[in-house]
Structure 1
């Protein structure tokens, strides 16, 4: 089993510090929600983000959306070869049922995430998406394998095909991909760092490369 973790993702509700900012208040009124019940989104709250620490990288639910669509629609997921998780900067951990079909529409995805942060699971009673407070290290301990690889531009270069062969040879492994637009991980990352290319790649591109090459080396079912 391959466990794919989108880590330190910039996915969060609007924090109290900027809940009264005009760009947040106006957007919340249009959605008929309280400011602290809406997702922080740099496309709409850019001016408010200037007041937050790390504001230049926060409010990027679009990265999570695209990354999850790529992972959950992959052949590897359809053949039950992977499990996918999202870990956020605030140690919110999203457990994702492999059968989950995410909305393709971004606005509907945002609404789903807002419901998840409010309810703790969606749909309620079915729990295709489930939210817990958990640091990244605790999830790795929970999975219980020493085969943990962090995708990092400063890591050891391993060609994608070779990395796919390595992953397919292991009974269980974890691949950690950063869910942020730039910068480095906020969580402590004591595990082996791997680079697939000579320069940085967006999270969903890394996920595609990992899964396609992992699939290519699996024995057909």
Structure 2
């Protein structure tokens, strides 16, 4: 079993400090929603993001979460019941995702789903395919597995070939946990206990890391 955590994901509702910015107000009006009900997105809120800490180069990237989750949930490992996926946000919310969840392929529909999740805490409410709770990453990790089975994807980590890393993950008796960043570039804002691993000599996009991990994990299991 492999647990995949997309950590410090840049997924959040528009912060209060920029809700009156014209870029946000106009976007919300087009969506027929209130500014506080929409997901922050650099594509639509670029001008407003400049007023936020980390706004110019990091925040407002829900597309990273969307692509990573599509790849993970549609993987063979997930279909075989060998994968659990979580999203941890920059504001310490954790999204628990049931393996049978099928996310919208359309990005705008995905944004609408995330907005409902932030509002209701679970979607759909009767099935709770996605459930959100306030929880720091450390508490999530403690509830999954011992620290010696946590691997943190990091560009300065030990360089391990993807195939070899897949074999390492598949060989663990206890569930292995892989933590990958859900942000465009840079480092985690807080230290994460675990072995730092890099799959390539250059930085890779988050969804590429997810793909390499899952494909090689599956190969090591003979799937």
TM-score, scaled relative to structure 2: 0.97
Structure 1 Cα separation of the partners of residues 190 and 95 of structure 2: 16
What is the correspondence of 1:44-193 to structure 2 with a 5 Å cutoff?
44-55=44-55, 56-146=57-147, 147-171=149-173, 172-193=175-196
Q: Does the 8 Å CA contact 2:150/2:194 hold for their aligned counterparts?
A: yes
Structure 1 Cα separation of the partners of residues 134 and 62 of structure 2: 18
Q: Residues 113-144 of structure 1: CA distance to partner in whole angstroms, max 9, x if unpaired?
A: 00000000000111000000011111000002
The answer to whether 1:211 aligns with 2:214 is yes
State the 1:188 CA deviation: 2.2
Structure 2 Cα separation of the partners of residues 196 and 219 of structure 1: 21
Structure 1 Cα separation of the partners of residues 194 and 171 of structure 2: 19
The answer to whether 1:196 aligns with 2:199 is yes
Q: Structure 1: state its 5+ residue gaps.
A: none
State the 1:219 CA deviation: 4.5
Q: Does the 8 Å CA contact 2:145/2:177 hold for their aligned counterparts?
A: no
Q: Residues 122-177 of structure 1: CA distance to partner in whole angstroms, max 9, x if unpaired?
A: 00111000000011111000002230000000000000000000000012110001
Structure 1 Cα separation of the partners of residues 10 and 118 of structure 2: 14
RMSD of the alignment, in Å? 0.8
Structure 2 Cα separation of the partners of residues 2 and 134 of structure 1: 21
Structure 2 Cα separation of the partners of residues 64 and 210 of structure 1: 16
Structure 2 Cα separation of the partners of residues 62 and 89 of structure 1: 15
Structure 2 Cα separation of the partners of residues 68 and 139 of structure 1: 18
The 4+ residue runs of structure 1 with deviation greater than 3 A are none
State the 1:187 CA deviation: 2.9
Q: Does the 8 Å CA contact 1:42/1:58 hold for their aligned counterparts?
A: yes
Q: Does the 8 Å CA contact 1:14/1:37 hold for their aligned counterparts?
A: yes
Corresponding residue pairs, total? 220
Q: Secondary structure at the match of 1:94?
A: strand
Q: Structure 2: state its 5+ residue gaps.
A: none
